[in-house]
Chain A
């Protein structure tokens, strides 16, 4: 028996508002409890519907540590099933994507299932007569997750059978997904190719926190962005030469503190938030000819300008994804262990939008987030140094106090100075909530 299982008081004590205990990053029991409680009670990203466009199309991934299959059923709806044969536990699909036709068939004993998980057939079924098999969980077929929501093409699920609704969980934060999708003149996105996959030897929450950490780019990324600015100057191009796309992307990483202070941070309840309320590192990308005209045609001038005038930087959807609306990028931080995380970085194309924008986004993805990136390396270096450094005894708390106000209330939307660490505190507020909400005795502890 560990220290934290069924001990909501001990879990609450890990977050003091302005600091968190190191165990949230390094303790394997807490990782297991996150998988059991947090990733079951929260709404977690699965995939995009364009990854399974046709009936029978499937895509396999994981929600927390749970292997799942996103599949397009014969009625056209997207279902999310656990990737486990109800017979002996064999994973039903092992490739990342494919088409299964009208049913799944387990490769071990040929049990078959409809694409909504219902049991279709078992060979030699007579052998189960008069055994009580029909009363077993195995007879129900492949298990489905507790609830699924397709929000404008993005598939989310809640593993738990009961709990918070999708709308209440995300609330006003859905405006960032809306803006990303609205940037398509057709109001639709499509996944563009496979994701980058980058293995980090650190806790998944370090990556999530870094998405709204606005005091690190000018320090950690000086080596890449600073060097790029220096090299460009040395080329001594004539005044007014437009920056090449690579420079447009990388140069803003060296913006001064003042730029990040003024960009603003907005937080929403349940751990969601974004940087770039007023402007962001994506604000000054050059216009693509013809794009605005198409947007005006679809939405009218006023709305088109409002959509493209929004330049949110990183939006964190608690617990484990980040999206960049202006460039249609989504990163998912998949927790493998207390000190292991796979980061998958997806890009999407704007249906009916210009291909130049997809090219810019693909460039951003490989320049900043690839295992070969000259920017991502320096982030990874910081996380992994922290993962090791946190083992120092006698100094067991991690500070998240920048612009802290005692008695902070995260139950309403707030906009603050862009260098606040309020969003990190907001995440830990939600972390405690969804870790403990289904633990024994949580009611008593709350009183």
Chain B
């Protein structure tokens, strides 16, 4: 099976739609078991381990994050936050047919809101994708925030 450029691009569009519509179980199912969601704190950060990041989460932590959003006593999600992505057409940076691995870069604006507050973040998302059992999966996702060094309010959902 081969993957076309369009299929890669559609995958990225589908992923952000799942996040915007809160379809988290479907979203978690996109991930490979050993994947990591990384949101660096520093501009062009190269090390996720020995300095602080905004997020560096394995699948267990991502599940916890999703589970918590729906918890009966998650006070900071009463009422719930909502989010919205506006994305540019993803760039396909690498396609390795033999290995079944792909890399995309996507520029996007991310809006998160709760009660009277709304936050706008400009993001660059880098996806490492892999073809496993005939389906595309997220191997790793890195999200760089343009103003990563600013003081933020809450970012409760998943950019």
Determine the distance from Cα of A363 to Cα of B57 in the docked complex, in whole angstroms.
9
Q: Is A314 an interface residue (CB 8 A)?
A: no
Q: Is B24 an interface residue (CB 8 A)?
A: no
Q: Is B52 in contact with A223, judged by CB distance below 8 angstroms?
A: no
Partner among A198, A223, A366, A378 whose Cβ is within 8 Å of the Cβ of B55? A366
Q: Is B76 in contact with A378, judged by CB distance below 8 angstroms?
A: yes
Determine the distance from Cα of A220 to Cα of B68 in the docked complex, in whole angstroms.
12
Q: Is A231 in contact with B153, judged by CB distance below 8 angstroms?
A: no
Partner among A196, A228, A359, A381 whose Cβ is within 8 Å of the Cβ of B49? A359
Determine the distance from Cα of A347 to Cα of B63 in the docked complex, in whole angstroms.
26
A residues 188-208 touching B (CB-CB < 8 Å): 192-199
B residues 73-128 touching A (CB-CB < 8 Å): 73-77
Q: Is A179 an interface residue (CB 8 A)?
A: no
Which residues of B sit under 8 angstroms from A367, Cβ to Cβ? Answer: 61
Known A366-B54, A378-B74: A342·B151 in contact at CB below 8 Å: yes
Q: Is A231 in contact with B52, judged by CB distance below 8 angstroms?
A: no
Q: Nearest Cβ distance between residue A195 and chain B, in whole angstroms?
A: 7
Known A223-B73, A378-B76, A381-B75: A365·B52 in contact at CB below 8 Å: yes
Q: Which of B39, B51, B63, B152 has the most CB of A within 10 A?
A: B51
Which residues of B sit under 8 angstroms from A231, Cβ to Cβ? Answer: 60, 63-64, 67
Q: Nearest Cβ distance between residue A59 and chain B, in whole angstroms?
A: 14
Q: Is A366 in contact with B68, judged by CB distance below 8 angstroms?
A: no
Q: Nearest Cβ distance between residue A180 and chain B, in whole angstroms?
A: 17
Partner among B42, B54, B64 whose Cβ is within 8 Å of the Cβ of A228? B64
How many of chain A's residues touch chain B, expressed as a range? 35 or more
Q: Is B2 an interface residue (CB 8 A)?
A: no
Known A197-B152, A372-B55, A374-B64: A380·B50 in contact at CB below 8 Å: no
Determine the distance from Cα of A365 to Cα of B67 in the docked complex, in whole angstroms.
21
Q: Is A278 an interface residue (CB 8 A)?
A: no
Determine the distance from Cα of A195 to Cα of B50 in the docked complex, in whole angstroms.
13
Q: A366-394, CB under 8 A of B: which get 1 and which 0?
A: 11001110100110111000000000000
Q: Nearest Cβ distance between residue A340 and chain B, in whole angstroms?
A: 10
Partner among A96, A363, A366, A380 whose Cβ is within 8 Å of the Cβ of B76? A380
Q: Is B150 an interface residue (CB 8 A)?
A: yes
Partner among A224, A342, A372 whose Cβ is within 8 Å of the Cβ of B155? A372
A residues 86-130 touching B (CB-CB < 8 Å): 96
Partner among B39, B50, B68 whose Cβ is within 8 Å of the Cβ of A362? B50
Which residues of B sit under 8 angstroms from A382, Cβ to Cβ? Answer: 75
Q: Is B68 in contact with A227, judged by CB distance below 8 angstroms?
A: yes
Q: Is A222 an interface residue (CB 8 A)?
A: yes
- Please provide the 3 A-B residue pairs with the shortest distance between their CB atoms, ordered closest to farther: A193-B51, A381-B76, A371-B152
List 24 contacting pairs A-B, 8 Å CB cutoff, sorted by A. Answer: A192-B50, A192-B52, A193-B42, A196-B52, A197-B151, A199-B151, A220-B75, A223-B73, A223-B74, A223-B77, A224-B64, A230-B67, A246-B61, A347-B51, A359-B49, A359-B50, A362-B49, A362-B52, A365-B52, A367-B61, A371-B152, A372-B55, A374-B64, A381-B75
